[in-house]
Amino acid sequence: ILNVEQSPQSLHVQEGDSTNFTCSFPSSNFYALHWYRWETAKSPEALFVMTLNGDEKKKGRISATLNTKEGYSYLYIKGSQPEDSATYLCAFLGSSNTGKLIFGQGTTLQVKP
Nearer to other proteins, 5 or 15 (CB): 5
CB of 104 to other proteins, least distance (A): 6
In angstroms, what is the C-alpha Rg of the chain? Answer: 14
CB atoms within 10 A of CB 9: 12
- 102 lies in the site for other proteins, by CB under 8 A: yes
CB of 2 to other proteins, least distance (A): 11
- 86 lies in the site for other proteins, by CB under 8 A: no
Q: Rounded distance, CA 41 to CA 74, Å?
A: 25
Give the C-alpha distances (Å, rounded to integers) separating 13 from 37, 64, 78, 109, 110: 17, 19, 12, 8, 6
- 43 lies in the site for other proteins, by CB under 8 A: yes
Nearer to other proteins, 26 or 44 (CB): 44
List of residues contacting other proteins (CB under 8 A): 4, 31-32, 34, 36, 41-46, 49, 51, 89, 91, 97-106
